[in-house]
Copies of this chain bind each other. A is one copy, B any other.
């Protein structure tokens, strides 16, 4: 009953096999390996972006922070949702990598930035006034931190507002594949065709050991990225093992298959949860994350049985039995039907 995070899941067997295969003989280090040449081509083809700059790093925080830093100056703003990973969960990595840019937090339902809020925030900035932080970059998360997905129209609306103020747009795709599978669109449609300029294309939460790609559709910042990556200690010497993971991930649609498994598991879990008394979803499920509320009694049963998932911030197991508490449950490619069934049976009491 492992629903704490897709980060706790194992690595897909195809990826382990690719690592083993990449371990034959010698390879040029620091990103000049031949596997990377193929990965670059794979990603450019997949995203229909023949000129894109493509780099690999080992963590999502690095992918996000490097992407942002390559596109703004320290006196500029990063516009993000109040709940975004960059704002909440990276211990200030964007501020560190950008040398002190300001994150301007925006609200919006379902963890999605409301376009009116972005418009208002931008309008409040006087681009001729040296006393104020200047416009910088928009970043959105897909899936959001509450498991919802921006529609293509929603992405386009936000990036258009950004572009109208000459700002680029970044997409934090830690759960890119889960969102894509939900939307049923192409990678190009969910990114540059919707106005996205730079993507953190996540793999770690979807079955890799630890690889995220940064894809910049406009390669002007490519060299800056390489310098910032090295300077931040994020250029791996035995880079072939990042390349190998990403190469296998993109081969034979493995990445989509893994995401489908995770999303399907979440759908089944959702159905099962909604069959329980007093249980409701807090956000529409659109990928592999479920935010549900159910009575404290059920939580007690679950925790006693060793089920792994997160209570919401500030909630406590202490209190009246029937009070409803929110739970975040995340499925992964490896979530078993047995885990789902077992979990729901326990919640049922």
Contacts and interface: CB of A to CB of B under 8 A. Distances in A.
Contact of A237 (B7, B25, B96, B238): B7
Contact of A16 (B23, B66, B103): B23
A271 interface: no
A91 B75 CA distance: 6
A320 interface: no
Interface string A221-264: 00110111111111111100100000000000000000000000
- Count this chain's copies in the assembly: 4
Contacts of A65: 233
Contact of A227 (B29, B134, B210, B233): B134
Nearest to A77: B92
Interface residues of A, number: 76
Contacts of A5: 29, 237
A90 interface: yes
A78 to B, nearest CB: 11
Contacts of A99: 74, 96, 99-100
A216 to B, nearest CB: 15
A104 to B, nearest CB: 10
A259 to B, nearest CB: 17
B102 A92 contact: yes
Given A102-B103, A131-B89, A59 B25 contact: no
Interface in A92-133: 92-93, 95-103, 123-124, 130-133
A99, A228, A232: which has the most chain B beta carbons within 10 Å? Answer: A232
B209 A238 contact: yes
Contacts of A228: 75
Contacts of A100: 92, 95-96, 98-100
Given A7-B237, A73-B224, 18 more contacts: A4-B26, A7-B238, A8-B26, A11-B241, A16-B20, A19-B209, A26-B308, A59-B234, A59-B237, A75-B91, A90-B231, A90-B233, A93-B231, A95-B101, A97-B233, A98-B100, A99-B99, A130-B227
| Top 8 A-B pairs, shortest CB-CB distance | A62-B233, A95-B100, A61-B233, A7-B29, A99-B99, A7-B237, A130-B226, A91-B230
